[in-house]
């Protein structure tokens, strides 16, 4: 009894400690949110300091303070690409900015189009006779490309700059699934729609290899050409053709090898880099930190130079990240959220034109269609619509681009991938190995189908494939209408194959090369507006206050609105996914009843399929969830 009492006291103490910690985190964050003041930006004489921590993206993900508190780390840093570009444009014109210092020690990479746009903006600063200095530790393709555009590129003595190039291996699970006796039901249209290959093959198909080789080679050539143009003396061939020999020539020292190849200009510590910036832009007399220099951050500079709001609005809606059903985002393209943004802007009456900025590999067909129809409603109002493709506008990303009257992209854009697929696993063979078999009554060939535990009937297999094929015909039909072609011609360039922007233009999938500014200017001209008579306005959901973000972390809801459409399945494949969850939930519920000591029961087995879907026992789910959290805390998973 004494031992049990001590254990109980320990558990109570742990519980009290956790509650106290949560309260401290909550009130500390609440205090910070209430006391934080975003005053007007103030520019200091000195350098513009750009710390590109994390990935540079089209639309950053909104941080969740509660998730960050429990994970022990912040949401991975992200920087909006257009903010970086605008800050560089402003720095080129602001007389108080003497130089630009870019810190890549925490850089997480970016897409090729974004890199090229930032590189061009860096060139603009240098053209204004202002130096651009860059510091990094371990630079790969993305960092090395940005370093090529710097007046002075510095590398830490323990770091280096490398050019591994795009590509690599992916895992194929065909034999594993066969060994585990898990059946992967593949439904697809498109010779090159290779997303599903890892689930039924053990290697890459020849068609997939051919398409991927062509795409990666084009993108890689563009990276090398950009670096070579910015740094003609860089010995790219030595770095890429014989990386081992190149590194050994400098005694295995990555920093010296990068310097020898002309990828960087100086080797030095962060403090030495800071001293160099201070010599050009001025010292920071308020700091005694080694290498401190007078500077202004990106947010302060942009706040001091707000974008013009004169004239009519050309609204820009961003479709970034995976396209999903519901209201997800920012950083994920929730179909309902984006459709509502468009409808609200159109209903406002002040909109002159719409630009759709796409940086997405695709996702849900139903969400893509929801966004597409919202854009079509804008066109039905007589509004000009332009599409601007960033790094990716593929598959569902191209689906939402089809309403565009004019489609802009860059040579480095990846687009196309016009195809549809679905993958549904079933476990009848695996369960059969352990003596578990399905049996029962069917009133039609579709009763209880598709059954992920007992197997699919031939009828449902054929119907699912027919559904995918119908979706593909709709897809190429939309593209054909958009591109003033025929479904037969589009089919020859579709088949799930992804194309680089240059090839896509030759094939007629895009209209012209150009960035977001070009698309906005075209839309303004189409609306009959002259320069100075319009401004770009970026559509975004209202930022949630701190309390709402905290509650969102505690409950799976965005706001007080009905959120049911965020999770409800909308097409047949979605209904199948929901049925999968229900079937697995029913199996878990049966297991829970077997394990539970409940006494005599009066339970209708055959009634289970006629009522609400079975769900796992709440205590079982709670126990499994607690076990998972404990394992994660202990680092087991």
Q: Are 421 and 141 in contact (CB under 8 A)?
A: no
Q: By C-alpha distance, which of 143, 50, 40 is closest to 88?
A: 50
Q: State the Cα–Cα distance between residues 161 and 467, nearest whole angstrom.
A: 49
- Residues 6 or more apart whose CB falls under 8 angstroms from that of 559 comprise 544, 548
Q: Are 392 and 413 in contact (CB under 8 A)?
A: yes
Give phi and psi for 315, each to the nearest 5. -80, 140
The 10s digit of each residue's pLDDT in 259-306 is 999 999 999 999 999 999 999 999 998 888 999 999 999 999 999 999
Q: Are 448 and 440 in contact (CB under 8 A)?
A: yes
Q: State the Cα–Cα distance between residues 122 and 128, nearest whole angstrom.
A: 10
Q: Are 189 and 468 in contact (CB under 8 A)?
A: yes
Q: State the Cα–Cα distance between residues 126 and 553, nearest whole angstrom.
A: 45
Q: By C-alpha distance, which of 442, 464, 444 is closest to 609?
A: 442
The one catalytic residue in 352, 360, 364, 395 is 395
pTM of the model: 0.83
The 10s digit of each residue's pLDDT in 123-163 is 999 999 999 999 999 999 999 999 999 999 999 999 999 99
Q: State the Cα–Cα distance between residues 56 and 50, nearest whole angstrom.
A: 12
What percentage of the chain has pLDDT greater than the value 90?
62
46-163+231-304 is classed in which CATH architecture? Answer: Alpha-Beta Complex (3.90)
The one catalytic residue in 98, 130, 193, 549 is 193
Predicted confidence (pLDDT) at residue 458 exceeds the cutoff of 50: yes
Does the annotation mark 426 as catalytic?
A: no
Does the annotation mark 193 as catalytic?
A: yes
Model pLDDT, residue 347: 93
Q: State the Cα–Cα distance between residues 93 and 130, nearest whole angstrom.
A: 10
Give phi and psi for 490, each to the nearest 5. -65, -35
The 10s digit of each residue's pLDDT in 556-572 is 444 444 444 444 555 55
- 635 in the Ramachandran plot: left (φ > 0), alpha (ψ -120 to 50) or beta? left
The residue extents of the domains of the chain are 46-163+231-304, 312-543, 577-633
Lowest mean pLDDT among 192-196, 240-244, 523-527: 192-196
Q: How many residues does the chain have?
A: 637
CATH topology assigned to domain 312-543: 2-enoyl-CoA Hydratase; Chain A, domain 1 (3.90.226)
Please compute the mean of the pLDDT values over residues 499-528 and round it to a whole number. 97
128: three-class secondary structure by DSSP: coil
Lowest mean pLDDT among 10-24, 144-158, 300-314, 528-542: 10-24
Buried b (16+ CB within 10 A) or exposed e, 551-575: ebeeeeebeeeebeebeeebbebbe
Predicted confidence (pLDDT) at residue 336 exceeds the cutoff of 70: yes
Give phi and psi for 597, each to the nearest 5. -100, 95
Model pLDDT, residue 174: 92
Q: State the Cα–Cα distance between residues 65 and 79, nearest whole angstrom.
A: 18
Give phi and psi for 536, each to the nearest 5. -85, 135
The 10s digit of each residue's pLDDT in 43-73 is 999 999 999 999 999 999 876 555 454 444 4
SS3 string, 22-71, reads HHHHHHHHHHHHHHCCCCCCCCCCEEEEEECCEEEECCCCCCCHHHHHHH
Q: State the Cα–Cα distance between residues 178 and 429, nearest whole angstrom.
A: 10
Instruction: Output the six-digit token pair for 343.
Output: 């409808």
The 10s digit of each residue's pLDDT in 77-121 is 899 999 999 999 999 999 999 999 999 999 999 999 999 999 999
Q: State the Cα–Cα distance between residues 537 and 346, nearest whole angstrom.
A: 13
Peptide bond into 330 cis (omega under 30): yes
- The DSSP call for residue 151 is S
Model pLDDT, residue 450: 79
The 10s digit of each residue's pLDDT in 177-225 is 999 999 988 988 888 888 889 999 999 999 999 999 999 999 999 999 9
């Amino acid at each position: 009894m004494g031992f049990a009492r001590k254990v109980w006291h320990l558990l109570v103490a742990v519980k009290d400690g956790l509650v106290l910690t949560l309260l401290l985190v909550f009130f500390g964050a609440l205090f910070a949110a209430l006391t934080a003041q975003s005053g007007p930006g103030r520019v200091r004489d000195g350098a513009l300091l750009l710390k590109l921590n994390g990935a540079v993206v089209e639309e950053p993900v909104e941080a969740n303070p509660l998730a960050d508190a429990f994970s022990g780390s912040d949401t991975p840093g992200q920087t909006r690409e257009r903010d970086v570009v605008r800050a560089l444009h402003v720095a080129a014109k602001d007389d108080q900015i003497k130089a630009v210092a870019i810190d890549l020690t925490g850089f997480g990479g970016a897409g090729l189009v974004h890199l090229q746009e930032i590189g061009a903006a860096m060139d603009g600063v240098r053209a204004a006779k202002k130096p651009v200095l860059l510091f990094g530790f371990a630079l790969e393709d993305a960092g090395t490309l940005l370093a090529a555009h710097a007046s002075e590129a510095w590398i830490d003595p323990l770091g280096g700059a490398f050019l591994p190039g795009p590509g690599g291996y992916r895992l194929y699970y065909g034999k594993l699934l066969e060994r585990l006796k898990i059946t992967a039901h593949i439904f697809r249209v498109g010779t090159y729609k290779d997303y599903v290959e890892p689930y039924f093959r053990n290697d890459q198909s020849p068609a997939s290899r051919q398409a991927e080789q062509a795409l990666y080679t084009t993108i890689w050539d563009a990276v090398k050409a950009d670096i070579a143009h910015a740094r003609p003396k860089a010995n790219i061939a030595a770095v890429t053709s014989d990386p081992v020999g190149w590194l050994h020539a400098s005694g295995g020292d990555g920093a010296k090898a990068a310097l020898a190849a002309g990828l960087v200009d100086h080797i030095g510590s962060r403090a030495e880099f800071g001293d160099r910036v201070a010599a050009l832009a001025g010292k920071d007399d308020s700091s005694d930190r080694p290498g401190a220099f007078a500077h202004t951050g990106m947010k302060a500079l942009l706040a001091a130079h707000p974008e013009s709001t004169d004239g009519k609005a050309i609204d820009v809606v961003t479709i970034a990240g995976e396209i999903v059903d519901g209201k997800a985002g920012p950083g994920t393209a929730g179909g309902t959220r984006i459709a509502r943004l468009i409808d609200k802007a159109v209903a406002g009456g002040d909109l002159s034109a719409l630009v759709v900025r796409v940086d997405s590999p695709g996702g849900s067909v139903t969400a893509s269609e929801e966004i597409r129809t919202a854009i079509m409603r804008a066109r039905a109002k007589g509004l000009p619509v332009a599409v601007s493709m960033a790094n990716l506008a593929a598959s569902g990303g191209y689906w939402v681009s089809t309403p565009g009257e004019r489609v802009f992209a860059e040579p480095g854009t990846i687009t196309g991938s016009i195809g549809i697929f679905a993958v549904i696993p079933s476990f009848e063979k695996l369960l059969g190995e352990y003596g578990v078999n399905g049996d029962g009554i069917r009133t039609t060939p579709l009763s209880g189908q598709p059954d992920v535990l007992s197997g699919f009937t031939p009828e449902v297999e054929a119907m699912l494939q027919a559904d995918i094929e119908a979706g593909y015909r709709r897809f190429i039909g939309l593209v054909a209408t958009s591109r003033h072609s025929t479904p037969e011609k589009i089919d020859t360039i579709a088949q799930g194959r992804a194309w680089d922007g240059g090839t896509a233009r030759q094939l007629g999938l895009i209209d012209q090369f150009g960035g977001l500014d070009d698309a906005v200017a075209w839309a303004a001209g189409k609306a009959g507006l002259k320069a100075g008579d319009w401004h770009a306005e970026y559509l975004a959901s209202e930022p949630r206050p701190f309390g709402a973000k905290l509650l969102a972390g505690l409950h799976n809801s965005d706001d007080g609105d009905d959120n049911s459409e965020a999770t409800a399945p909308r097409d047949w494949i979605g209904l199948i996914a929901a049925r999968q969850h229900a079937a697995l939930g029913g199996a878990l519920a049966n297991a829970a009843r077997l394990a539970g000591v409940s006494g005599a029961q009066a339970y209708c087995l055959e009634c289970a399929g006629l009522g609400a879907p079975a769900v796992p026992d709440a205590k079982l789910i709670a126990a499994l969830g607690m076990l998972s959290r404990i394992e994660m805390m202990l680092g087991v998973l």
